[in-house]
Structure 1
Amino acid sequence: MHIAEHQIEVRYAETDQMGVVYHANYLVWMELGRTQLIRELGFEYAQMEADGILSPVIDIQVSYKTPVRYGQVAIIKTWIESYDGIRVVYGYEIFNGNQDLAVTGQSSHVCVKKESFRPISIKRLFPDWHEAYEKNKKPV
């Protein structure tokens, strides 16, 4: 199982009046984590889009444990929680500047044709991605 790490220097604009990261920003950070993971596996999501395929979020779960604050460096860890050839579930852990677990989460995605939004088989259309996801997903 491959776990990608991405660091974010928390900007003032990402926080609320209390200096705590606003809850919706963690979703943006999860996207950065997914992009990093995909890149580390040797692929580019932008190329998939150029090929007419999108990967929308169909479900997302986030659990907030402790705050991340302005001035800290957050660490996003991302992995493939599960994969079945059509649906991908990514797992996330975000740590604050004290290395405390701040957020856990999962997002589920399917790949669809851009023009019709009909699901496609990653296994059939992107066999290299399929192989990399099978090889690097979390063991059952």
Structure 2
Amino acid sequence: MITETVEIDVRYAETDQMGVVYHANYLIWCEIGRTSLMGKLGVSYSAMEESGVLAPVTNVNMNYKAPARYGRKMYVTTWIESYTGVRVTYGYEISDEKNNLCMDGTSEHVLVDKKNFRPLSMKKHFPEWHALYWTNQK
């Protein structure tokens, strides 16, 4: 299983008046982690979209454990939790610089045709990506 960890500096604009990161920003950080993992695997999200395939989010689960705060460094670790050939679930852990787990969760994505949003098989449309995802899931 391959993982990818990305460092993020918490910006003031991502926080509320208490200096705590607003919960929706974790989704953005997960996207950063996910696209970085894909890049590490040699999978290009932009190439996928250019070929007429999208990967919309179908489910998100986030468990908030401790507050992420302004001025800290955060570490987003991402991996492939599960993969079926059509549906992929990414796993995430977001920790601070003191190694406190702030959030863990998953996001589920399905490959679809850009024109009609019908599900597509990664094995059929991107066989090399299929092999990478199949062998690198948890």
TM-score above 0.5:
yes
Question: What per-residue deviation string (whole Å, max 9, x for no partner) do you get for residues 2-57 of structure 1?
Answer: 01111101100000100011000000000001000000001110110011100000
2:82 is aligned to: 82
Give how far 1:96 is off: 1.3
Residue type matched to 1:101 in 2?
A: L
Give the C-alpha shift of residue 97 in structure 1: 2.3
Counterpart of 1:125 in structure 2 is 125
Alignment of 1:6-21 (within 5 A): 6-21=6-21
Number of equivalent positions? 138
SS at match of 1:78: strand
Give the Å deviation of 1:98. Answer: 1.4
Matches within 5 A, 1:24-35: 24-35=24-35
User: Distance in 2 between the 1:26 and 1:136 partners?
Assistant: 24
Query: What is the SS of the residue equivalent to 1:130?
Result: helix
In 2: Cα distance, 1:119 partner to 1:4 partner: 27
* Structure 2 Cα separation of the partners of residues 128 and 100 of structure 1: 36
TM-score, normalisation: structure 1: 0.97
Aligned residues with identical type, % of pairs: 54
Alignment RMSD (CA, Å): 0.5
Deviation digits for residues 62-110 of structure 1 (CA, Å, limit 9, x no counterpart):
0000011111010000000000101000000000121100000100100
2:98 and 2:67 map into 1 onto residues whose CA distance is: 10
Q: Aligned residue for 1:66?
A: 66
Please identify runs of 4+ aligned residues in structure 1 that moved more than 4 A: none
Q: Aligned partners of 2:15, 2:97: CA distance in 1, in Å?
A: 15
- Find the aligned partners of 1:132 and 1:97 in 2 and give their Cα distance: 31
Superposed counterparts of 1:39-50, under 5 Å: 39-50=39-50
| Structure-2-length-normalised TM-score | 0.99
Amino acid paired to 1:46: S
1:93-104, aligned counterparts within 5 Å? 93-104=93-104
Residues in 2 aligned to 1:96 and 1:5: alpha-carbon distance in whole angstroms: 12
Q: Distance in 2 between matches of 1:58 and 1:128?
A: 23
